[in-house]
């Protein structure tokens, strides 16, 4: 950028070289104004609001806890602190709510694009080729691609060409750099418990002939009942239970070892 210059008149120059009235001053560069910061997106505004709410809740809980501690030590209590236990409880509730809001926003960011729910813009050919936007996340070190997020519609056609669609009870996708019996990645459902160290493996069989189809991994679920319900609810025909032949619970470390060294194209075998 070429700098521009102003010519303010501050004084005239005398015979001795001194500046007097009426002469131009030396050239001074004009400093260009700093560029304006881009406006925050709606998502950034929500994240900022949730972050501020969380900070306020943590601060209020700390203040209430300090008052209770002072009262327990026999120190003078502040005016209006007779019911500080309730204040602590309310502060904890606000903190939990703020954390849940922040986690929800984080999950929304991780899931990214909206999977199949694109108003028909994703063709059957794209689905089979996997050529459409997906979300990505990390779960205990595993790289996972999300095809359809929880609450969105997954659709397709069955073997007879009949269309089907279902609202997904859990986020559904696959574990990258793996291979299942169908020649594609190992599929997985993502539950709400990101700290769960349990993995529930389901041997899925075909309805029409009863032969082994592939393994479905249920990640992030707290117990068997929760994982089983999510699996069964993901079928629009209500026959998920007939497809499920066996469910095995293993640890996340055992699951990683199976992905790396096991026969992932066959039904899971217990030791």
Confidence at residue 66, expressed as pLDDT on a 0 to 100 scale: 74
CB atoms within 10 A of CB 54: 19
**Cα–Cα nearest to 57, from 100, 83, 96:** 96
Show me where the domains of the chain are located.
Answer: 59-73+83-111, 124-261
**Cα–Cα nearest to 221, from 139, 113, 136:** 139
Q: Name the 3-class secondary structure at 92.
A: helix
Q: What is the pLDDT of residues 183-237, one digit of tens each?
A: 789 999 999 999 999 999 999 999 989 999 999 999 999 999 999 999 999 999 9
Q: What is the pLDDT of residues 94-117, one digit of tens each?
A: 766 666 555 555 454 444 433 333
Using CA atoms, how far apart are residues 132 and 130, in angstroms rounded to an integer? 6
Q: What is the pLDDT of residues 50-66, one digit of tens each?
A: 677 777 767 777 777 77
Rg of the chain taking only CA atoms, in angstroms: 31
Predicted model pTM: 0.55
Confidence at residue 34, expressed as pLDDT on a 0 to 100 scale: 65
* CATH architecture, domain defined by 124-261: Alpha-Beta Complex (3.90)
């Amino acid at each position: 950028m070429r700098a521009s210059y102003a010519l303010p008149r501050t004084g005239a120059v005398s015979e001795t070289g001194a500046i007097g009235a009426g002469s131009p001053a030396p050239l001074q560069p004009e400093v260009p104004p700093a560029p304006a910061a881009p406006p925050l997106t709606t998502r950034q505004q929500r994240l900022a609001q949730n972050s501020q709410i969380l900070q306020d809740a943590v601060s209020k809980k700390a203040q209430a806890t300090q008052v209770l501690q002072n009262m327990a030590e026999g120190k003078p209590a502040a005016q209006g602190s007779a019911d500080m236990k309730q204040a602590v409880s309310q502060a904890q509730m606000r903190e939990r709510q703020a954390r849940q809001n922040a986690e929800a926003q984080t999950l929304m960011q991780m899931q990214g694009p909206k999977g199949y729910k694109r108003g028909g813009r994703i063709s059957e050919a794209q689905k089979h080729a996997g050529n459409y936007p997906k979300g990505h996340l990390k779960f205990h070190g595993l790289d996972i691609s999300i095809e359809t997020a929880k609450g969105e519609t997954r659709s397709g056609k069955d073997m007879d060409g009949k269309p089907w669609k279902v609202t997904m009870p859990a986020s559904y996708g696959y574990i990258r750099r793996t291979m299942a019996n169908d020649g594609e990645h190992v599929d997985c459902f993502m539950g709400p418990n990101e700290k769960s160290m349990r993995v529930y493996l389901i041997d899925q069989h075909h309805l029409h002939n009863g032969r082994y189809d592939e393994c479905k991994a249920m990640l992030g679920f707290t117990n068997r009942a929760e994982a089983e319900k999510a699996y069964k609810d993901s079928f629009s025909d209500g026959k998920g239970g007939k497809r499920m032949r066996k469910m095995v619970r293993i640890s996340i470390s055992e699951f990683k070892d199976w992905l790396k060294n096991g026969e992932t194209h066959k039904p899971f075998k217990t030791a």
